[in-house]
Amino acid sequence: MSIQPIIRVATDVGGTFTDMAFIEVGSDGTQIVRTAKTDTTPPNFEQGVLNVLERGRVEITEVGFLAHGTTVVINALTERKGAKTGLITTEGFRDSLEIARGNRPDFFNLHYQKPAPFVPRYLRRELPGRITYRGEERIPLDLSGLSAILDDFKEQNVEAIAICLLHSYANTRHEEEVIAAIKKYWLDVSVVASHQINREWREYERTNTAVLSAYVQPIAEQYLSGLESAMDRKGFMGNLYVMQSNCGVDNLSRSKRIPITMVESGPASGVLAAAELGKAIGEPNILALDIGGTTAKCSLIENSEVKIVSDYWIERTPSNAGYPVMVPVVDIVEIGNGGGSIAWVDEFEKLHVGPKSAGALPGPAAYGKGGVEATTTDANLLLGRINPEYFCGGEIQADVKASTDAVSRVASQLGIDMIEAARGIVRIANNNMTNALKLVSLNRGYDPRDFTLVAFGGGGGMHGVALAAELGVKKVIIPNGAAVFSAWGMIMSDLRRDIFVTQLLDLQNDAWRILDELLLQVEDQAIAQFASEGVSNDRVSFRHLAKMRYQNQEHSVEVEVPRRPLSKSSLSDLEIRFHEIYEREYTYRLQSPVEIVGIHVVVTADIGRFELSKVKVADAGCGPETAHKEIRDVDFAQEGVHSTSIYDGALLSPGMEFEGPAVIEDSGATTVIHPGNKASVDVFGNIHIVLTEDSNG
Amino acid sequence: MDHRFTITVIQSSLLAIAEEMFAVLKRTAMSPIIYEVLDAGVAITDADGRLACSGAGIPSFVGVLDKTVKALIDNTELSSIHPGDVFCTNDPYQGGVTHSSDVILMVPVFAQNKLIAWTSNIAHWSDIGGATPGSLPTDAKDIFCEGLRIPMIKIIQAGNEIESVFSIIQTNSRLPDMILGDLWAGIAAARRGAIRVSELVNRYGVDIFQTAMEDSFYIEESRVKNALSKLENDTYQLESILDDGSIHLISVTIRDEMLLVDLTKAPDQHDGPYNTSRDSAMIACQMLLKVISTPKSPANDGSFRALKVLTRKGSCYDPIAPAAQGYYFEVRMSLFDMLLQCLSEGMPNLFPAGHFASICGTVISGIHPDHGRRFTMVEPQMGGWGASLGQDGVDAMFSLTHGDTYRCPAEISEARYGIDVDRVALNSSPGGDGQWRGGRGLEISYRMRGTGQLSVGYSRSVVPPWGLAGGGSGSVNFVELHKVSGDTIRYSSKSGILLDKGDIIRIRTGSGGGWGSKKLRHQSAIDSDLKDGINVSNEVL
């Protein structure tokens, strides 16, 4: 009997398009990769998923693994389309949600407006009862007022209830009792308590997180159930997973219960893809850069590990404090700068690019859909970097006239010629992105020169080399299939949960016992939870990190905990590692006592990994000339115009090497290789671009 | 390539450098007041000390450091400034601007053997000596009570630490390790900035770098003047009585795209710590100019060229040494508040009513009952902001002189300080009614689990925040100590109050003033307030 092929599929529902990536690993190890794209079909999103699977010729009954990425959660939040939510807090703290932290980034604005809470004051209620920061009960929970609160909530048509009690991270019992009492009294209401999502201190952040999760729960559950039944009807027999913000996937039941962890799943899959690619090609330290139509997102990967943090905000801008969401999220910086970002000139004749974007409609002027504003894409087209005959993979004919008109308008405002203006647009856009990359590297204590830039998304290859030169990065990698790289990341992801628990511990005496017990407790809970979802114990593995700092400081660093079971000497090991990591990050070390503030446990469950397969090497002796399409003039902005070799990305094969100036045209993306760069294609079909000393700025 | 794009790149790179310096300072500082309250700022100036850009979490540290660098240049031979030098001061009488607790570090930037810029930072150290822990005695009689005075000196000479100076500084602090950490954080931040600026200059050349700076000054100056030209030319005057009964006469004139502030009629200097240097009074005026002209754009030298300020030597805004200045921040806060009130009465549609207008500095110290370690909690408080035309005041924000400052969560306070936080709620005191109502302050209850000491410095404890256009006054800021013995004592400004186990400290911060007559308040807004349980009637006041 032959071995069944492994078929893994990822579908990614975006605002405009629903993407799909498909990998089939045959019994002989050969891999077939396919991608497809269709329109998103609101409000019946599952239809778009079925459409894209059909277009990609996927036999649904044979798929073993389907990962699904969706923006349903972030959309419900930003469009304020969630459920009417009530909140129950500890007595004396119902206003925490509204008081927030009092910070305002826009500090010269006399008319600053604080972000309005998602639950108004009349739906915020209190219950007496106190747990201490050490998890002891100081005042018993008094549930006598609960039924009156619930009656009020019913009368006000509340659909979801969030609970956040003080210090529930240290002892979950009171919150559990409130949930049980609510369920007894009002079975069909959606309820979530803060400890089910996160067990870290900071009551405002935890309360807001519980509130936002409750707010989106009904709509997310409805969405996921719709997808599940649509797949069932098509005879899907495999496992359906949902992409999360922590670069992992999770199962359906958990995602329906706690949907807020999906909030940043889009960027997470791209960062994971960059990390996985790095592992495959032996590049552990990576700056991942995803340049899309509206934004650019970047993240730093160190030692092949994505950085997962739990301090994340939505709607946070230079003029808005935003809303904290304390869930595991990949550490990214996002700026309003993408291919569709609009160039504009201010009253002092200064050129700016973004953050306003031409979006999908009308899009850049070059799309010929009525866009009249100049965008970065238009500038790239006019500089010859994008081929007008091969625009968007040849699917549409670029409207060069519309681009010329749009950029000429900018040029006349500046009093310069059109080409100069186009160069300026590219240069300013590059500068914006360089500053974003500095935020994830320099401002966090890392030197970008120690990292390799992996640039993807529609604009990654277009701008990657220029950004690398600016930052002193020596090597840029443009992944094979850069345009659907994120969907590929989803296929590569594990079932992953990041668990954060606050626990203050001085590094002395029997602290190792307490730490060991806490880790064991978290492991047991995670295993039990997985078991209840049908994932067996032997597939689960753990990584333990301690959050440590000098006593009484605010900022902590994560230190890898030695293997359990711990012993007395584990503490000194931890302390030694702490001093090293702290010094690297903060530039000095102290003699002061060290404390643990909490733990971060990464739980992964093996759901069948597979190795990347090498691209079949083209006929021996095949040089880059077989992929050579033509020579044309390309304007490299700062380096000026060069006669440039144009290569067909589809015909490149492993081992090919060539030098810049060159441009690679692929169906989804264009890669610009500057003069002096050396390019080569690796065994997986990725393009490696090495910058020479001269090309580093 | 059009050099205008290079200029834009240089200008945005300078902002990125300032951000990087601020990130270094925040990450490496030891004192919580630096990395939590963000009582710190950084700046890049040109060789003459003109502000190129600043990075700060709070507005009141914008436009401070250029004054210090100018004072340094005025008092130092150019030939004695070398690459690798680090200069330092904390003395408001020698260019230190604020108070002795704020230490300033400055590094000259050289490129092609020429001094082309300065990088600098200022940060509040937890203890610089003086009469009381924390260096802020409310009963200080002169600046010597407020700790070590560091004149304008070099602490690192061409890369070599001057060890005697480090030793003097450490010896004069109750927290020598902490301030040594803060000192090195400041040095690291300024040095990082200096490296980045010289990289930038070497890349693009001195000429275009200097052109980029001049260009950015010109643009900001034009923006400010353009905004001023849209305001009515007039002289606005205000007579205001503060909590201590002092009468302040202020006059603000907008004329010919200039803002003139006359503070010469201010009261004589205070015999305690409630004074602020002329440079610091300037900061209040700069903030006024910024909020009325260019609140969104980053500040530089050009932002303040349209400003002229008159002060009188010997007044609380231009004191003569050795007057104490420890609580300069309350003096400057009330000055900024009066300046806003002065203009708002002439242009009520453009301004909000008065806010709670105090830092409400609250310090609780004692022994943590769970592990016996000493703790000091230093906390500014949040309060209500004033209403404006078309908009209720914002609830519970830090004062206008704060910015991206975060309140410490109750869960962390309970763990870190070993006190019980019984309540943090919106203040139910009446106040701030109007067509648009003032934002509400806070009501906080702390209960002592051990013994300790309390110090408070609250303004607007007697005279409430002002209403505007017929709106009602807000409510006042104060602390009520409910002793376990049964007594209740009210405080606004006092240090060294003894606390017993079980004492309850009840903090109330004020509502902001209302805007417009409350008779005009829309019924739906009244209904919504009622539904949310908000009490606004202040007819008793």
Delimit the domains of chain A by residue range: 1-63, 78-221, 495-605
Interface contact flag, A122 B388, Cβ < 8 Å: no
- For A102, the closest of B391, B405, B533 (CB atoms) is B405
Best probe of the B interface among A93, A104, A195, A596, by most B CBs < 10 A, is A104
Residue pair A72/A262 in contact (Cβ under 8 Å)? The answer is: yes
Enter the tokens of residue A673.
């290789």
Nearest CB partner across the interface for A102, out of B13, B290, B396: B396
Q: Chain A 60-89, CB below 8 Å of chain B: which residues?
A: none
Residue B111 token pair: 């490129």
Task: Give, for A252, the enclosing helix (H) or strand (E).
Answer: helix A252-257
Interface test mutation site (partner B, options A89, A94, A107, A504, max chain B beta carbons within 10 A): A107
Question: pLDDT digit string (tens) for B254-274?
Answer: 998 999 999 999 999 999 999
Q: Is the pTM of this model over 0.90?
A: yes
- Residue A610: pLDDT band by 50, 70, 90 thresholds? low
Q: What is the DSSP string of A91-154?
A: TT-TTHHHHTT---S-TT-TT--PPPPSS-GGGEEEE--EE-TTS-EEE----TTHHHHHHHHH
pLDDT of residue A2: 41
Q: State the pLDDT at residue A697.
A: 42
C-alpha neighbours within 13 Å on the C-beta side of residue B176: 8
**Facing B442 at nearest CB: one of A99, A111, A443:** A99
Predicted pLDDT at A526: 94
Q: How far is the C-alpha of A383 from the C-alpha of B313, rounded, in Å?
A: 63
Judge whether B371 and B416 are in contact, CB under 8 Å: no
Q: Is A525 an 8 Å CB contact of chain B?
A: no
Q: How far is B485 from chain A (nearest CA, A)?
A: 23
| CA atoms of A267 and B116, how far apart (whole Å) | 42
Instruction: For residue A438, list chain B residues with Cβ-Cβ distance below 8 A.
Output: 16, 20
Closest Cα in chain B, distance from residue A212 (Å): 19
Would you place residue A554 in the very low, low, confident or very high pLDDT band (cuts 50, 70, 90)?
confident
Tell me how far apart the alpha carbons of residues A81 and A70 are, in angstroms, rounded to a whole number: 16
Decide: helix, strand or coil at residue A401.
helix
| Count of residues making up chain A | 697
Centre a 10 Å sphere on the Cβ of residue B236 and count the other Cβ atoms it contains: 18
**Contact present, A58 and A48 (Cβ < 8 Å):** no
Check whether B541 has a pLDDT greater than 50.
no
Q: Which of residues 374-433 of A touch B (CB under 8 A)?
A: 414, 416, 420, 423-424, 427-428, 431-432
Question: By CA distance, what is A416's nearest residue in B?
Answer: B2
CA distance A604 to chain B (A): 30
Alpha carbon of B319: minimum distance to chain A alpha carbons (Å) = 27
| pLDDT class of A508 with cuts at 50, 70, 90 | confident
pLDDT digits (tens, 9 = 90+) for A134-179: 999 999 999 999 999 999 999 999 999 999 999 999 999 999 999 9
Can you tell me the distance from the alpha carbon of B161 to that of A656, in angstroms, rounded to the nearest whole number? 55
Q: What is the pLDDT of residue A584?
A: 77
Residue numbers of A between 295 and 324 with CB closer than 8 Å to B:
319
Residue to mutate among A96, A99, A636, with most B CBs inside 10 A, is: A99
Strand spans (E) along A150-278: 160-164, 190-193, 239-243, 249-251
* DSSP code at position B146: G
Out of A103, A586, A588, the one facing B405 most closely (by C-beta) is A103
CATH number listed for the domain at residues A495-605: 3.30.1490
CB contact (8 A) between residue B533 and residue A592: no
CATH class of the domain at A1-63: alpha beta
pLDDT over 70 (residue B105): yes
In this prediction, residue B421 has a pLDDT band, given cuts at 50, 70 and 90, of: very high
Mean pLDDT value of segment B412-428: 95
Across chain B, mean pLDDT equals: 93
Of A29 and A383, more confident: A383
Strand B488-491 and strand B442-448: the pairing is unpaired
Higher pLDDT, B423 or A1: B423
Cis preceding-peptide flag for A661 (omega within 30 of 0): yes
pLDDT tens per residue across span A277-297: 999 899 999 999 999 888 899
Environment class of A178 (CB within 10 Å of its CB; exposed 0-12, middle 13-18, buried 19+):
buried
